[in-house]
Amino acid sequence: MQHQTQKDSMNGDSSERLSQESECRNEGAGCILESASAVARGVLEEIEALAGTTTCKSVQLLRLKKWALEQGCWFGDRTQFGEFFDRGSENETYISCNQTEIVKLNDFRYSDDNLTSFFERIKAHNFYFDACPYRMIGFAENQDGKVCAVLVQPYIAEARLATPQEVPRR
């Protein structure tokens, strides 16, 4: 995983971004997370250039759904994720049919007015918690009809919170 320093066009601040480009090459068919992030970033840049605003979440969601349908990573049937498990504040969760994975439909609730922060958040999670990474497999609508990212993680039976001593420092 690579770090990139990027200048924020809104306020001139520099920020670090985590890139998964090297991981994409290793996945063969392409990396949905990196590609979806690029689609959302492209919409943000277009709207910012045309309208001078970064408020574009609804347009990004429409474009991501269209892109996912074109790329074959749109899931029209939630039953293929397994059995409905629970609903949290931003995720609808399913336990896979073989009970080895948790499938999360994230509705982007905490992504403010554009989705670029969501994709950066997933990349950061995977960097810091590489023993339990998210694997983005596509997009779907949740039970409320909202476009969601479909994320998969290993199912950990009898899980508990990590102690501060167990969390590695980076």
Q: Does residue 24 carry a pLDDT above 90?
A: no
Predicted confidence (pLDDT) per residue in 121-169, tens digit: 999 999 998 888 999 999 999 999 999 999 999 988 777 888 888 887 7
Q: Give 28's DSSP letter.
A: S
Q: Which amino acid is at 158?
A: E
Pair 101, 153: CB distance under 8 Å: yes
pLDDT of residue 14: 38
- pLDDT at 55 (0 to 100): 74
CB 22 within 8 A of CB 4: no
- Please state the rounded mean pLDDT for residues 98-103: 94
- Tell which wins on pLDDT, 166 or 8: 166
Question: Which pLDDT tens digit goes with each residue over 39-82?
Answer: 988 888 888 888 776 678 988 999 999 999 999 999 999 999 99
pLDDT for residue 71: 94
47's tokens: 């709207």
Please indicate, yes or no, whether the overall pTM of this predicted structure exceeds 0.75: no
Buried b / exposed e across 135-151, counting CB within 10 Å, b at 16+? Answer: bbbbbbbbeeeebbbbb
- CA 103, 107, 111: angle at the middle one, nearest 5? 125
HEC states along 88-149?
CCCEEEEECCCCCEEEEEECCCCCCCCCHHHHHHHHHHHHHCCCCCCEEEEEEECCCCCEEE
Looking at residues 21-26, what average pLDDT do you find?
Answer: 41
